[in-house]
Chains A and B, each alone.
Chain A
Amino acid sequence: MAPQVTVDSINPKVIECQYAVRGEIVILAQKLQQEIQAKPEAYPFQEILYCNIGNPQSLGQKSITFFREVLALCDHPAILAKSETQALFSADSIERARKILDQIPGRATGAYSHSQGIKGLRDTIAAAIEARDGFPADPNDIFMTDGASPAVHMMMQLLIRSEKDGILCPIPQYPLYSASIALHGGSLVPYYLDEATGWVLEVSELKKQLQEAKSNGITVRALVVINPGNPTGQVLAEENQKAIVEFCKEEGLVLLADEVYQENVYVPEKKFHSFKKVARSMGYGEKDIHLVSFQSVSKGYYGECGKRGGYMEVTGFGADVREHIYKLASVNLCSNITGQILASLVMSPPKVGDKSYESYIAERDGILSSLARRAKTLEDAFNKLEGITCNKAEGAMYLFPRINLPKKAIKAAEEVKTAPDLFYCRRLLNETGIVFVPGSGFGQVPGTWHFRCTILPQEEKIPAIVTRLTDFHKRFMDEFRD
């Protein structure tokens, strides 16, 4: 008898969904890495340079000391009673750990918490949101999750009833969205960001795509906006955000605001404004707009990807819908407690006057200024390459250069039944060990080719990366130039 579970008999939505960030090129890179470990002479390079994923601490970024002090104390509160602990930990981290433990019923960090997350921590986060935006936030609107991704999945689950339900997504987008929509059986309705103007989001484009979807029988339910953008890095201007809010309000769409890069802004002329702040500043409240805002501990200057911490702030829904959001959260009982504690720390870090403030600020600013420098260095390097143009990374952690592949290269790619951008990225990997993700993994205007590169390799590695890339690119163009 044929086995019950095979690729032919599993849920077809599983087969359909794709996630390029850890897809084909990365699997290839991992194989190469194993080969190099076994036979170092096999390749002209000694290490794989993973520029595929926003995973800062895997590339040497240090964690924020204060946060780790508090987490360690919460993991093992027994040491708070020891006098030696005062010598090993900063005084304010001890104080903060005590405060957090007091907010946890029974001081039990190993217990399942409330399914929305520990109340005291949500209070902290709500207060922080209010301080950030100047508008009130309700801890009952906050649902803490194992990273922002599960929260996105929850919303897609609620919104998508069938393939007739559409979600407007930016192209290019972070492929969690396309994957989640496919997994839940919905339709992705693309709206194109304008590369020529620095990835601007035109509301006229939103309207156009909405109309087209409607005429195809799709009910558009929500609009995903990633701000700062991934992979594009643009930071929306406040006026632009107002127009987006107005659009969602008029069309009755749920605004899904992915704001996980809110701390990653590298240009002085732009500032992060949360969509909640923008909406409230326009006088729009609970009755006017459905808004879900996502935040994570994985990005920013903290880069704590492995902790899986995050939350969504859910506003503008009736009690009956919220009940079901709670119910979905409760099936998984709760998100991990360490992640919850970290989310509260990230949203309310040391303040002026705190013992750890100076060292915290030094660490934070060190990381952010380094990220800004690396963003500029790599942007400039890409723009020097023949046939490559690269928009500035105003924020986030990526560059998304466009490559004008010569006809010969495109033909060569077609001959091996490979997308041209993947063809380029594979060659790059095999000749230099550098891992970029082909633009097709994120979406791009048909006929254009891109790749996404993170700005995360350590600063001292960047010159080598630029050299290897430049040499490779010259060889590639020499081979395939028209």
Chain B
Amino acid sequence: MGLKALDYETMNENVKKVQYAVRGELYLRASELQKEGKKIIFTNVGNPQALGQKPLTFPRQVVALCQAPFLLDDPNVGLIFPADAIARAKHYLSLTSGGLGAYSDSRGIPGVRKEVAEFIERRDGYPSDPELIFLTDGASKGVMQILNCIIRGQGDGVLVPVPQYPLYSATISLFGGSLVPYYLEETANWGLDVNNLHESVAQARFKGITVRAMVIINPGNPTGQCLSEANLREILNFCYQENLVLLGDEVYQQNIYQDKRPFISSRKVLMDMGPPISKEVQLVSFHTVSKGYWGECGQRGGYFEMTNIPPKTVDEIYKIASISLSPNVPAQIFMGLMVNPLKPGDVSYDQFVRESKGILESLRRRARIMTDGFNSCKNVVCNFTEGAMYSFPQLRLPPKAIEAAKQAGKVPDVFYCLKLLEATGISTVPGSGFGQKEGVFHLRTTILPAEEDMPEIMSSFKKFNDEFMAQYEDNWNRSRM
């Protein structure tokens, strides 16, 4: 063969730079061990239904009926599907232009986008324009589309929280931009200090980077903190002053486990702040059917809503969306159902509320169980999971452990997590996959394992951890390495 067209050397450099720890080294090792027969508890990714969470019944009934519309003609369909599911299926089918098998409008089915707009209006108290709402195959695709528009080259920087969900770092690498980190304050419950923002921007500009956008993840991933209204105002003011597009990742807006800071959308706060800010700050908000109490990750359903983005730019974004033709239609229906839920009086309402509440209350309990469990471990300090689906405990690794990691050619938290995996089967993601302050280590786990499995998981973790910590605080020669 002549010159190899595609090998490691000739591959796009940006692809090489991409890292995505959520399905990286630890996950691959866990999968290997699983193949060898070891029982693995996958807590590496926010994937509720993989850990036993049941799908909500009503949406599945509706989509099944949409999938097989011949059922709707069958006189016996009422024996296995409730009337409101049948009605809803007919409603969504009427909004499509040919059922689930036809490409929809590239922005998503207009009727569903209208339902999303109505949801946003009910939630925030301000009208939303369906023409500025685009449905996507998962929120991740939407994030990638928007970042692809913003990033022209290395000289363009995007402010990203540290720690962050590594979709952002991976995408910025892929598109050849610059990640501008701003540190969340662990000791202040992962709070966001505007001074950190100013510092980060100043440093970036000093290096010649044009900072173009700022990402906030609210509730946070992996950190779980819920931003206060005051914090959001500060952020919006900051974006106004520094002329940044705000990218509001709000996929966990249903996952709130404390009552002091309920979810408030960036858009609501922006509108509350009134002109000129409300008319000038550019905002893109993201949501999904993968999280919340729906957990329908496998559907790949999401949307983004644009605020104050000029019409010609919207046209360009539409053009890019059209190249992929359309987002998948079943997920669009899930999105419609999520934003346009059942009402009291609907036949399936009680069951729906029971299922939803059950999931949310259990998540709240598990957030507490995990936080407390981690805090009871030696050298482990864990902020409470205020929201989202993760716990991000800090591991105070003894110097000897760090040395052992170096010897093994591993980053310290990777070293710890691999040992945890081998000892207990718990598959986590090392904090280095999300970013952390120099010399501070964490791991991310989800709060998703079934509630009845939690006590055993936490005690298994504690046993491993306390032994690990003891081992590396001991004399080096007695190490079992």
Which positions in A face B, CB cutoff 8 Å? 1-7, 9-12, 14-15, 17-19, 21-23, 53, 55-60, 63, 65, 68-69, 71-73, 75-76, 78-79, 82, 84-85, 87-88, 105-106, 108-113, 115, 146-147, 149-150, 157-161, 176, 179-180, 183, 221-222, 249-254, 287-290, 298, 303-308, 317-318, 320-321, 324, 327-328, 330-339
Select which of B12, B295, B327 is within 8 A of A159 by beta carbon: B12
B64 touches A79 (CB 8 A): yes
Please name the residue on chain B nearest to A221 by beta carbon. B5
A288 touches B99 (CB 8 A): no
Cα distance, A480 to B63, chains bound together (Å): 53
CB pair A11 B1 closer than 8 Å: no
The reply to whether A22 and B106 contact each other, CB–CB distance below 8 Å, is yes
Residues of A within 8 A of B98 (CB): 55, 57-60, 306
CB–CB B320/A108 < 8 A: no
Interface size on B, residues (CB 8 A): 103
- How long is the Cα–Cα vector from A222 to B15 in the complex, in angstroms? 17
**B49–A328 touching, CB < 8 Å:** no
Q: Nearest Cβ distance between residue B210 and chain A, in whole angstroms?
A: 9
Contact A12 B312, CB 8 Å, known A58-B98, A157-B12? no
Interface centre among A71, A88, A112 (most CB of B within 10 A): A112
- B196-227 vs A, Cβ < 8 Å mask (1 yes, 0 no): 00000000000000001100000000000000
For the complex, what is the distance from the CA of A245 to the CA of B192, rounded to whole Å? 57
CB contact between A321 and one of B1, B11, B329 (< 8 Å): that residue: B11
Assuming the contacts A58-B98, A304-B101, A331-B171, asked whether A183 and B320 have C-beta atoms less than 8 A apart, the reply is: yes
B window 306-336: CB within 8 A of A: 308-310, 312-313, 316-317, 319-320, 322-331
Contact check, B15 vs A289: say whether CB atoms are below 8 A apart: no
Q: Is B404 among interface residues, defined by CB-CB distance under 8 A? A: no
B180 located at the interface, meaning its Cβ lies under 8 Å from any Cβ of chain A in the complex: no
Residue B83 lies at the interface, judged by CB distance under 8 Å to chain A? no
A110 touches B64 (CB 8 A): no
Give the complex CA separation of A334 and B298 in angstroms: 8
| Among candidates A2, A10, A55, A339, residue contacting B102 with C-beta atoms closer than 8 Å | A55
Q: Which 8 A-B pairs have the closest CB atoms?
A: A252-B2, A306-B329, A111-B50, A58-B102, A58-B98, A76-B64, A337-B298, A72-B68
Kindly provide the distance from the CB of B86 to the nearest chain A CB, expressed in whole angstroms: 13
Interface residues of B (CB under 8 A from A): 1-8, 10-16, 18-20, 22-24, 45, 47-52, 55, 57, 60-61, 63-65, 67-71, 74, 76-77, 79-80, 96-104, 106, 137-138, 140-141, 144, 148-152, 167, 170-171, 174-175, 212-213, 243-245, 280, 282, 290, 295-300, 308-310, 312-313, 316-317, 319-320, 322-331
- Supposing A72-B65, A85-B80, A159-B6 touch, asked if A249 and B298 sit within 8 A by C-beta, the answer is no
What is the CA–CA distance of A159 and B15 in the complex, to the nearest angstrom? 10
Report whether B298 and A111 are in contact in the complex, using a CB–CB cutoff of 8 Å: yes
A320 touches which of B7, B14, B330 (Cβ 8 Å)? B7
The answer to whether A161 and B152 touch across the interface, beta carbons within 8 angstroms, is no
- From known contacts A72-B65, A147-B325, infer whether A3 and B2 are also in contact, taking CB-CB under 8 Å: no
Taking a contact as CB atoms under 8 Å apart, the answer to whether A111 and B47 are in contact is yes
B326 and A115 contact, CB distance less than 8 A: no
Q: With CB as the reference atom, state the residue of chain B lying closest to A332.
A: B140
Partner of A113 from B3, B55, B298 at Cβ < 8 Å: B298
**A28–B398 CA distance with the chains assembled, in angstroms:** 67
